[in-house]
Amino acid sequence: MGFLDGISKDFKGSTFEIAKLLQLPTVFILDAKASAQSIIIPIKGIEWIKKYIPVIGIILNNVSTEGHKKLLIEAITKHSKINILGVLPKYGKEIFFSRHLGLQTAIELDKNIFNDLSAFVEQNINIDKILALAKIDINYSFVKKENRKKKTTKKIGYIAYDKAFNFYYRSNIEYLMELGYNIKYFSPLENETIEKCDFLYIGGGYPELYAKRLQDNTNTIDSIIEHFHRGGKIIAECGGLIYLSKSITNDNTTYNMINIFDTNFKMENKIQALGYVEAEINKNLPFYEKGKKIKGHIFHYSSIISNNEEYIFKLKTLSTNKIIYDGFFKNATLASYTHFHFLDESSLIEKFLQWRC
């Protein structure tokens, strides 16, 4: 969403709030398509933002011609002292295609395109000036938690990573490494298996786009089921939750999934949930007590069309206060639509990982 968009009218939870808290140097990219003097309107808004954060300049995007570029620069320099750090002409071809959850992911793109884009940026943006202006001087205090100290153990953690599953907070993976997990990646799409391990993490992604392959890749399915019945820990988020369910229906075709949870999903034509949530534990868990609250976020186009499992989270959306029920726990598997940051102060994931089941 936009720079100011958060969970409340005072911009809480927005990119603006983070930039303000950390005083991060910020560059705004403005779409200049079909505008000339009117470019001043968003710039005046940016000048208001400069009262609170160090805005170092702007980059103009989608500039049609040299004449268009001249009009824009003349308008900006007459009415503002903001730095123009670059002017990007129209690229001439579409690169990033969108789908229901946003852009195609980087893992799906032809890697050669990044070299072309790098050259395009170098030719049209003053990188040296940006680096010179973006002097980051963060002055704040923080307390290191004991669990941030890297531990040396022989624990093994598998993470599903391919075109179907690749929505992960990098800091979550780094946190697992700090806890001492030797991280190994595997691809359900390539029918790869997991060996005996302590922990399995299946993140979000696009399982609905590859449902037939996921359904047919029984080697992966069998190894995950074996891990589940052995009592191995699993965290599954959104797309990972769907993968552990009974089925997913997409374009009137139903595909069987792993069937750990007796729940059936369907892809819808419009968004079903988006935003930050507060998740209240709806029942006592062996590693966490009922009533405690955790923050997370949800974003999905699928819906649950039938369910025979008990929900463990009562969600309240932080922008609308809507109540939603989410999440399942079985054996040592924790799965939900909600994405959690593992370093959240609630320590939900930490306690789950430390729990001796």
So which residues are the catalytic ones? 238
**Other C-beta atoms within 10 Å of 296: how many?**
22
Q: How many CA atoms lie within 13 A of 167 on its CB side?
A: 25
State how far the Cα of 5 lies from the Cα of 13, in Å rounded to an integer. 8
State how far the Cα of 29 lies from the Cα of 3, in Å rounded to an integer. 11
CA dihedral 143, 145, 151, 156 (to 10 degrees): -130
- Sign of the torsion angle spanned by Cα atoms 335, 339, 343, 344: negative
Q: Order of strands across the sheet with 313-317?
A: 293-300, 273-281, 313-317, 323-326
- Residue (of 125, 201, 130) closest to 160 by Cα position: 201
Sorted by sequence, the CB contacts under 8 Å of residue 188 that are 6+ apart come out as 160, 162, 164, 165, 214, 217, 220, 243
Sequence-distant contacts of 1-7: CB under 8 A, at least 24 apart: 3/28, 3/49, 7/275, 7/276, 7/318, 7/319
Q: Which residue has the tokens 């769907």?
A: 242
